[in-house]
Structure 1
Amino acid sequence: MPYAKLTLTIPDSIWISKVSRTYPDTRFRVLAATANTTTGVARIEIRGDDPEAVCQAIREYESVTDLTVFEADPEMYRVQVETTVPLLLTSLQDSGVPLEMPFEVRNAELTLEVTVPQRTLSEFGETLDRVGIQYTVEQIQQATESDSLLTDRQRWLLDEAIDRGYYDTPRETTLVELADDVGIAKSTCSEILHRVEEQVMKEYRRDEPDVYRNVAMTSD
């Protein structure tokens, strides 16, 4: 299946386009999102010099019906935003392209990496054209199984788990705390980490020299 990397320019009619242009150095990291034809809900990590001012700017948009702050410090807010114009999310969903979280919006641009059948990729481009979302294809190639051991989402969660001490001895954070910190369900967090661990262990076994496989373990 082909792998494609695209940069989408978010239309001005979507609030995150205008806000991210007003605050071009601020990073909007979408941790989770869902939408139907009339309503969209997204959990977003806002990182920049003044995330409080960014939140206030978001609240001023008529299409934003609610903004709830879950976590706040001087340079980072985690919020949930509800909107009545979920054009971007519904367009991505309607195209049939799986949208892996998190993804980042900066200065009205969103970079997506997808590995999908050629037909789905073509339909995705047609959907973007139809709704007026401009895009640039940065890279396209035939993907192979060995391209990457982990997906972007798996690498992101693994990095978060390591940074927060989940794999330290003793652990600095629990699975429940980790899931809450990154804004995903405990069951989802557990499943992703289990798949990461499975991939890494199997890859280690494939790379391990045969000479070590029959070494007997001794107790201390």
Structure 2
Amino acid sequence: MATVAEFTLAADEFPLGTVFANLPDVTVQLERVIPDPNGVIPYFWVRGTDSDSIVEQFSKHPGVRDIQLVDSADDEYLMRCMWISEYDSVLDALIAPEVVLLSAIGTATEWTFELRGETRKAIAEFREYCHDHDVPVTLTELHALRPLDAQHGLTDTQREALILAYECGYFESPRETTLAEIAEELGISQQALGSRLRRGNRRLVEQALIESHS
């Protein structure tokens, strides 16, 4: 049965965490990781600084061969970099076909990332890979996905966030609450909450409007 797991990792233990050394107020959100013959290519959003500072900070890491600005929106920048294969890291584990990255958000304190595995064994193998390569991940949540007709394909955390946002009037016009207020009640960052809401809404649309008509 498909299983969802949430892991945390100290900021300086994650490859993209090097940016926090001199830019402690930024937030990094991993978008996706693509395999490459020479390593892996992560795409990630950075908030809270300018693109030149991002390039400067990441370029200092020996595992980064090249980093480029892909897109920008307001004060958010989508970056692309080449992470070379000589530096084994959690990024390598994230491209395994048995696991799917649902979200990954980093701050100067820690990274929190959520994965879906086709089985519990896939999650266990991911964790084992990290430990074998001295990546000290901590498992903070693990649960099996319920059938689609029972939970609409949502993870427990996505469902919790959507229900609370609805009950607090976040989807009303005008809004009766803010992301900050909901995030505080859940005990998570605004970025983590925003990611859960986006992915939860996307899954609901996929099931209600896409899968039902396929």
Q: Same fold (TM over 0.5)?
A: yes
Deviations along 1:174-194, whole A, 9 cap, x unmatched?
Answer: xxxxxxxxxxxxxxxxxxx7x
Aligned residue for 1:77?
A: 77
Aligned residue for 2:41?
A: 41
- Distance (whole Å) between structure 2 residues aligned to residue 110 and residue 37 of structure 1: 27
Structure 1 residues 57-206: aligned runs within 5 Å = 57-72=57-72, 75-84=75-84, 85=87, 87-94=89-96, 96-100=98-102, 103-107=104-108, 108-145=110-147, 146-150=150-154, 197=205, 199-201=207-209
- Distance (whole Å) between structure 2 residues aligned to residue 86 and residue 120 of structure 1: 19
CA contact (8 A) 2:8 2:111 kept: yes
Highest CA radius of gyration, 1 or 2? 1
**Shift of residue 93 of structure 1?**
3.0
Give TM-score, length-normalised by structure 1: 0.58
Aligned-partner residue type, residue 147 of structure 1: Q
SS of match in other structure, 1:52: helix
Structure 1, unaligned runs of 5 or more: 156-192, 205-220
- Distance (whole Å) between structure 2 residues aligned to residue 125 and residue 31 of structure 1: 20
SS of match in other structure, 1:134: coil
Structure 1 residues 22-41: aligned runs within 5 Å = 22-36=22-36, 38-41=38-41
Aligned residue for 1:189?
A: none
Aligned-partner residue type, residue 34 of structure 1: I
- Distance (whole Å) between structure 2 residues aligned to residue 115 and residue 40 of structure 1: 20
CA contact (8 A) 1:34 1:89 kept: no
**Shift of residue 151 of structure 1?**
6.8
CA contact (8 A) 2:18 2:61 kept: no
CA contact (8 A) 1:42 1:82 kept: yes
Structure 2, unaligned runs of 5 or more: 160-201
RMSD: 3.6
- Distance (whole Å) between structure 2 residues aligned to residue 77 and residue 42 of structure 1: 13
- Distance (whole Å) between structure 1 residues aligned to residue 135 and residue 75 of structure 2: 30
Give TM-score, length-normalised by structure 2: 0.60
Deviations along 1:13-60, whole A, 9 cap, x unmatched?
Answer: x64122234423312122232134742212221111444322221123
CA contact (8 A) 2:28 2:44 kept: yes
Aligned-partner residue type, residue 127 of structure 2: G
SS of match in other structure, 2:125: helix
Aligned residue for 1:3?
A: 4
Distance 1:105 1:17, change over 3 A: same
Aligned-partner residue type, residue 34 of structure 2: T
> What is the aligned-residue identity percentage?
18
